[in-house]
């Protein structure tokens, strides 16, 4: 049995669904169901005895200790995090509490559990912490991509809180010997992505006839990773990664944001044309750039390919087409996650960004 934290969120739910599609090993799924955690992501698992969902917080040490002692998982995969830069700018405290305090409490509870395991179980146990390329800071146009040895230079409250959590995980390995693994991924996209992030926001706004807000000149560069490729990489790291090591996971798809937006518009023009025949790109609206907006991220995923044989199965062209098709086929899911609180946040946030 494995324990997955944050398993009702975007990447976590994709991981749980893919895991149970490929393996019979049961999953305990612990999620606090904040705004981006959604039980509807897991609706296909209703009645599946291999999936135990628990509504709770990684910072609740009594709850986590009870789960560990009752179910004796052989591994923990920690997806639980606050993860949106814009939200971290408006309200950083939640990111400190979840990403730093929550990770610390989870680690400390897991350390006690691991210390009490029998020899073979103790040796086989793993704690895999899922992080982000944003901890490395921003790259100049000609800089080489981030490797695992790149220094940490976070520029937002979100990335700073994730950097702190990474350092805590590293410290628990070097100080206590806890058998940890860490991954730092590039921008994920795909099914079940909460519609405040770039790609789903563009799809949702385009179909609703709303402006497509693009920060600044739209030339911020990101490496894009299809979420199911990311899940496959995590499974490889869990199974074969070297204890104490970090593995960068990227899609080898470095593209500017404006190209992403125009690609989404082109696919919607093909798959769901506007009634008036105009292109969806006519809805693009450049807005004031956000504070501290990193200009470029790029992941060098050579290490994970060299050591574990992993590389992404999807190109950006194949992955983005699958993503747009999924949202078109699952618009009821989109409508259900767009609560009044979500709509209010989106309207307020982008209203504050003056049109350029």
For the annotated catalytic residues, the residue numbers are 133-134, 158
DSSP 8-state code for residue 289: P
- Phi/psi region, residue 311 (left: phi>0; alpha: psi -120 to 50; beta: rest), is beta
Q: Are strands 254-256 and 221-226 parallel, antiparallel or unpaired?
A: antiparallel
Residue 176: partners with Cβ closer than 8 Å, 6 or more residues away: 111
For 51-87, give the DSSP string. Answer: EEEEE--TT-HHHHHHHHHHH--SEEEE------HHH
Length of the chain counted residue by residue: 356
Query: Between helices 316-329 and 198-207, what is the axis angle to 10°?
Result: 50
- Would you say 109 and 115 are in contact if contact means Cβ atoms under 8 Å apart? no
Residue with tokens 């519609």: 195
Residue 253 burial class via C-beta count within 10 angstroms: exposed 0-12, middle 13-18, buried 19 and up: buried
For 189-244, give the DSSP string. Answer: ESTT--TTSHHHHHHHHHHTT--EEEETTS--EEEEEEHHHHHHHHHHHHHHPPTT
Q: What are phi and psi of 91, to 5 degrees?
A: -145, 75
Residue with tokens 């789960």: 67
Residue 25: partners with Cβ closer than 8 Å, 6 or more residues away: 1, 2, 19, 50
For the beta carbon of residue 120, count every other beta carbon within 10 angstroms. 8
CA 215 and chain centroid, separation = 21
């Amino acid at each position: 049995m494995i324990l997955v934290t944050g398993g009702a969120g975007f990447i976590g739910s994709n991981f749980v669904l893919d895991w149970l599609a490929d393996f019979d090993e049961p999953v305990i799924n612990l999620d606090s169901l904040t705004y981006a955690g959604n039980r509807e992501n897991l609706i296909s698992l209703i009645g599946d005895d291999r999936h135990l969902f628990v509504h709770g917080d990684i910072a609740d040490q009594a709850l986590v200790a009870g789960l560990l002692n009752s179910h004796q998982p052989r591994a923990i995969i920690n997806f639980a995090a606050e993860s949106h830069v814009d939200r971290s700018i408006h309200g950083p405290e939640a990111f400190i509490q979840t990403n730093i305090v929550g990770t610390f409490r989870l680690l400390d509870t897991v350390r006690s559990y691991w210390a009490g395991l029998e020899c073979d179980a103790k040796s086989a146990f793993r704690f895999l912490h899922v992080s982000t390329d944003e901890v490395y800071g921003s790259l100049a146009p000609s800089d080489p991509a981030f490797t695992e040895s790149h220094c940490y230079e976070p520029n937002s409250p979100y990335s700073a809180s994730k950097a702190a959590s990474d350092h805590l995980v590293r410290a628990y390995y070097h100080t206590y010997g806890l058998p940890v693994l860490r991954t730092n991924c590039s921008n994920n996209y795909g099914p079940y992505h909460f519609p405040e992030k770039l790609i789903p926001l563009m799809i949702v706004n385009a179909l609703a006839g709303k402006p497509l807000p693009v920060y600044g000149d739209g030339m911020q560069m990101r490496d894009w990773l299809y979420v199911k490729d990311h899940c496959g990489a995590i499974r490889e790291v869990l199974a074969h990664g070297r204890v104490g090591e970090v593995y960068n996971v990227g899609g080898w798809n470095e593209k500017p944001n404006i190209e992403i937006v125009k690609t989404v518009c082109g696919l919607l023009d093909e798959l769901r044309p506007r009634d008036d025949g105009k292109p969806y790109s006519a809805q693009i609206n450049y807005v004031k750039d956000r504070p501290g907006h990193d200009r470029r991220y790029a992941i060098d995923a050579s290490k994970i390919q060299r050591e574990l044989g992993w590389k992404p199965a999807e190109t950006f062209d194949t992955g983005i087409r699958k993503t747009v098709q999924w949202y078109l086929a699952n618009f009821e899911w989109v409508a259900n996650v767009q609560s009044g609180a979500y709509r209010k946040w989106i309207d307020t946030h982008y209203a504050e960004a003056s049109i350029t």
